[in-house]
């Protein structure tokens, strides 16, 4: 020991270098151990090499220090410092990647909800301590965390003695606030995003303000199947777009407008991708009796409701979900230097903040390198905006399907661009953006195992670098028809819906099951082509037009009682007769256009009777809308959504037009 310490300066430098080397080696080995199932053999070899090199350098340092061979000792010290620093640097980068993936992995057992006390900007109150005797509005649904549970906690916590008023929806609360019926209301903190794109509620940010916010962590309900499925097996992913005024997935509000279902088979390296139209008329899992409605309404009950709804109507299990904040897409694209997309026509769209005017985003036809705002606008656009832009930017036809294709193109363009990233600074920026704007229920280990999948894809790519070709992409299509349907039992208003054909849903479901290995793949034995005609790949589900599994209640006005009994008997609807008439039907209390699945009983009035009326058996529900509904001509759903619609006609069903349904563009975006 004396020989090692007789040259104190040399000993100190050797000791420091040894500590740095050992620290770097240990840190790197620890981070390599985090990369489970990634290049296991290479990682094992790397660990052995690291340990051997560290031991050799340390032993050489001790030997040269003991004999005090100064030149050789200096070289060894330098090597130990370089090697240790390099290990620390590599370990840091591995840890940063792992930390990002861990942050993206949303496997926490709790969900954080946020509710805010909102008032008009003209109100002088700036905090909850200023509300004095003002009346408070909250949801009557006691199971709503943001609309009832948190508000009641706030009332107790702040010892508020204000009178309260309960409402059946957030929209009715907002209307009550506008009309001065209440002074303050409790809304989800992201209420501007949730309702700001609805007609009549675009100016919420300018007319209202938040004076108090409280969050609450609630334990998630346990599902029957945990997300432990290995990535080596075929799996299904649900991509969900969320909205936020700022970046960050934690402050985002799921809006249900952007939905993509992807199935991937790692064994065959084949993929199916389906964009689901927002107005698809399907059974909503969390509505009473799974009442059918447009699928976007499932979003108001949260991601779990949406996932279960899609699982039910497509008859598949969704193994994983990925939530992406639209704000993050803008930064992601800009960090990558833009994405290349072939734009089919000139278009204009609102920006990421949903602002028009000087903020309007314009995109020209042709192959373009789109920046972040343009890429998001391209993915969001679903119809022309003649009231916002000149004819140059509105001369085209679009819809939900075309928007879905645009979203798929942006996803593919992003994947293609990721492959070209090489500099470390860009990698750091991408990691920060992804960690802040994306979340998934995949575990960190499951995300890491995707490395082996993409490695396999790259090794077999050979002839192409296009991601759509590498992934064997098969696009699916849900075909259907337009329909006006009375939302009986919900809003009681006539809404536009896209009714899916049964055969199209089945074709899409079968294609997914085949790719997942759950259904035997059909072998194509014949193939024909014309050398003079370009080959067009068949889009599964697009040409299917059989069955729509829906029957709408007809207008019985002018029909006989026997006809009413015959129709209603065939559909399990109880008939009540009003009055003592014996002629034809002159009115019905459930409007024509309601889905017969939602109608349990109907009351009709016959002609030829006296003014005295009686009701046989039971009294059925009334579909007569409120005065506010007629005046505003808006749909106000029990789950808080609002859309353009036409009021139910109450007793006179002949006023309801169900023969000429509008196009999707007739509804508010």
E strands within 437-522? 438-440, 473-476, 480-486, 493-500
Separation of alpha carbons 414 and 378, rounded Å: 14
Is residue 539's pLDDT more than 70?
yes
- In the predicted structure, residue 68 carries a pLDDT above the cut 90: no
Which segments within 326-429 are labelled E, that is strand? 339-343, 347-349, 361-363, 366-370
Residue 179: predicted pLDDT: 93
Residues 6+ apart with CB under 8 A from 100: 431, 432, 434, 435
Residue 648: phi and psi, rounded to 5, are: -70, 150
Query: For residue range 74-102, what is the model confidence (pLDDT) as tens digits?
Result: 999 999 999 999 999 999 999 999 988 88
C-alpha to C-alpha distance for 89 and 30, rounded to whole angstroms? 13
Closest C-alpha among 27, 28, 23, 24 to residue 46: 28
Confidence of residue 619 (pLDDT cuts 50, 70, 90): very low
Angle between helix 400-418 and helix 326-335 axes, rounded to 10 deg: 40
Q: Which of 1-10, 380-389, 643-652 has the lowest mean pLDDT?
A: 643-652
pLDDT of residue 113: 81
Residue 62 predicted with pLDDT over 70: yes
Q: Are the CB atoms for 118 and 208 separated by under 8 Å? A: yes
CA–CA distance, 362 with 366 (Å, rounded to integer): 13
pLDDT of residue 528: 59
Angle between helices 424-437 and 326-335 (to 10 degrees): 180
C-beta atoms surrounding 388 within 10 Å? 14
Q: In the prediction, which pLDDT does 634 show? A: 35
Tokens of 402: 């075309």
Distance CA 249, CA 149 (A): 23
> Residue 644 above 50 pLDDT?
no
Please give the pLDDT value at position 312. Answer: 95
Least confident window among 45-59, 366-380, 456-470:
456-470
Kindly give, in sequence order, each residue whose CB lies less than 8 Å from that of residue 212, ignoring residues fewer than 6 positions away.
Answer: 116, 117, 127, 128, 154
Which tokens hold the place of 433? Answer: 């953006």
Of 445, 502, 461, 454, the closest CA to residue 478 belongs to 502
- Closest to 171 in 3D by CA, of 644, 659, 647: 644
In this prediction, residues 149-158 reach a mean pLDDT of: 93
Q: Is 280 helix (H, G, I), strand (E, B) or coil?
A: strand
| pLDDT of res. 594 | 94
- Degrees, nearest 5: CA angle 352-353-355: 105
Nearest to 65 by CA among 9, 103, 24: 9
How far is Cα 415 from Cα 190, in angstroms, rounded to an integer? 30
Asked if 116 and 191 count as a contact pair (C-beta separation under 8 A), the reply is yes
pLDDT at 650 (0 to 100): 38
Distance CA 205, CA 279 (A): 26
Residue 134 phi, psi dihedral angles, 5° rounding? -60, 150
Question: What is the C-alpha to C-alpha distance for residues 66 and 328, in angstroms, rounded to an integer?
Answer: 58
Strands (E), 168-232: 184-188, 208-219
Please write the tens of the pLDDT for every residue from 187-198.
988 788 677 655
- Is the model's pLDDT at 222 over the cut of 60? no
In the chain, the domains with their CATH numbers are 2-104 (no CATH), 110-219 (3.40.190.10), 223-325+425-478+502-546 (3.40.630.190), 337-420 (3.40.630), 561-666 (no CATH)
Query: What is the share, in percent, of the chain residues with pLDDT greater than 90?
Result: 43
Q: Is the pLDDT of residue 648 over 60?
A: no
The structure tokens listed for 555 are 């207008």
pLDDT the model gives residue 463 = 53
Q: Which of 88-92, 217-221, 558-562, 599-603 has the lowest mean pLDDT?
A: 217-221
Band of pLDDT at residue 236, cut at 50, 70 and 90: very high
Tokens of 541: 């589900």
User: Residue 419: its pLDDT value, please?
Assistant: 76
Q: Read off the pLDDT band of 340 (50, 70, 90).
A: very high
| pLDDT score for 642 | 38
pLDDT level of residue 639 (50, 70, 90 thresholds): very low
Q: Which tokens go with 288?
A: 């009473």
pLDDT band at 651 (very low <50, low <70, confident <90, very high): very low
Nearest to 480 by CA among 458, 467, 462, 496: 496
Tell me phi and psi for residue 330, to 5 degrees: -60, -50
pLDDT of the residue at 1: 56
Q: Read off the pLDDT band of 210 (50, 70, 90).
A: very high
pLDDT band for position 421 (50/70/90)? confident
Q: Provide the pLDDT confidence category of residue 667 given band limits of 50, 70 and 90.
A: very low
Place of tokens 């909205």: 243
Alpha helix positions (H), 224-325: 303-314
Terminal alpha carbon distance of the chain = 80
Q: What is the pLDDT of residue 526?
A: 58
Question: CB–CB of 276/500 below 8 Å?
Answer: no
Q: Chain-wide mean pLDDT for the chain?
A: 82
What distance in Å separates the CA atoms of residue 131 and residue 120, rounded to the nearest whole number? 12
Cα separation, 111 vs 118, whole angstroms? 23
**pLDDT band, residue 623 (cuts 50/70/90):** very low
Contact 477, 504 (CB under 8 A): yes
């Amino acid at each position: 020991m004396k020989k090692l310490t007789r040259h104190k300066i040399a000993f100190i430098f050797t000791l420091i270098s040894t500590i740095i080397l050992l620290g770097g080696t240990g840190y790197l080995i620890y981070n390599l151990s985090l990369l489970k199932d990634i290049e296991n053999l290479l990682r094992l070899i790397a660990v052995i090499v690291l340990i051997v090199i560290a031991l050799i350098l340390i032993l050489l340092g001790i030997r040269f220090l003991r004999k005090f061979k100064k030149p050789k000792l200096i070289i060894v010290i330098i090597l130990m410092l370089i090697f240790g620093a390099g290990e620390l640097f590599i370990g840091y980068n591995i840890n940063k990647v792992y930390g990002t993936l861990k942050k993206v992995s949303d496997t926490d057992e709790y969900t954080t909800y946020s509710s805010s006390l909102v008032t008009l900007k003209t109100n002088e109150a700036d905090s909850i301590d200023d509300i004095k005797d003002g009346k408070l509005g909250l949801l009557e649904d006691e199971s709503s965390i943001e609309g009832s549970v948190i508000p009641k906690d706030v009332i107790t916590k702040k010892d508020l003695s204000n009178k309260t008023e309960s409402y059946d929806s957030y929209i009715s609360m907002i209307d009550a606030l506008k009309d001065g019926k209440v002074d303050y209301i409790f809304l989800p903190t992201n209420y501007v995003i949730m309702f700001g794109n609805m007609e009549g509620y675009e100016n919420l940010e300018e007319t209202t303000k938040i004076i108090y916010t409280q969050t609450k962590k609630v334990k998630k309900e346990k599902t029957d199947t945990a997300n432990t499925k290995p990535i080596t097996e075929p799996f299904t992913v649900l991509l969900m777009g969320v909205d936020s005024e700022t970046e960050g997935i934690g402050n985002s509000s799921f809006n249900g407008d952007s939905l993509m279902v992807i199935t991937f088979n790692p064994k065959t390296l084949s993929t199916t991708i389906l964009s689901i139209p927002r107005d698809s008329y399907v059974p909503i899992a969390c509505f009473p009796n799974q009442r059918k409605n447009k699928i976007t309404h499932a979003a108001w009950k949260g991601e779990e409701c949406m996932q279960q709804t899609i699982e039910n109507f497509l008859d598949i299990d969704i193994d994983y979900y990925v939530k992406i904040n639209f704000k993050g897409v803008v930064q992601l694209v800009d960090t990558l230097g833009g994405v290349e997309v072939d734009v089919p026509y000139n278009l204009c769209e609102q920006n990421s903040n949903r602002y028009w005017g000087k903020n309007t985003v314009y995109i020209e036809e042709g192959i373009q390198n789109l920046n972040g705002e343009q890429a998001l606008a391209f993915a969001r656009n679903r119809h022309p905006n003649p009231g916002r832009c000149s004819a140059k930017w509105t001369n085209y036809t679009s819809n939900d399907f075309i928007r879905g294709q645009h979203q798929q193109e942006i996803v593919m363009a992003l994947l293609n661009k990721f492959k070209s990233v090489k500099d470390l600074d860009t990698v750091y920026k991408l990691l920060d953006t992804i960690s802040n704007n994306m979340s998934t229920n995949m575990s960190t280990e499951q995300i890491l195992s995707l490395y082996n999948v993409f490695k396999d894809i790259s090794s077999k790519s050979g002839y192409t670098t296009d991601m759509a070709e590498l992934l064997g992409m098969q696009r699916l299509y849900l075909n259907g028809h337009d329909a006006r349907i009375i939302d009986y039992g919900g809003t009681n208003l006539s809404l536009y819906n896209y009714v899916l054909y049964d055969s199209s849903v089945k074709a899409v479901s079968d294609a997914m099951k085949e790719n997942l290995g759950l259904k035997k793949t059909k072998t194509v034995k014949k193939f024909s082509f014309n050398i003079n005609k370009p080959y067009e790949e068949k889009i599964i589900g697009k040409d299917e037009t059989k069955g729509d599994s829906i029957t709408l209640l007809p207008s019985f006005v002018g029909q006989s009682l026997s006809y009413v009994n015959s129709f209603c008997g065939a559909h399990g609807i109880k008939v009540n007769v009003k009055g003592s008439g014996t002629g034809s039907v002159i009115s019905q209390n459930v409007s024509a256009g309601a889905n017969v699945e939602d109608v349990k009983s109907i009351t009709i009035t016959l002609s030829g009777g006296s003014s005295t009326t009686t009701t046989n058996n039971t009294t059925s529900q009334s579909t007569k809308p409120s005065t506010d509904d007629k005046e505003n001509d808006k749909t106000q759903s029990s789950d808080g959504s609002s859309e353009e619609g036409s009021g139910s006609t109450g007793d006179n069903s002949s006023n309801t037009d169900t023969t000429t349904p509008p196009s999707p563009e007739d509804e508010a975006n």
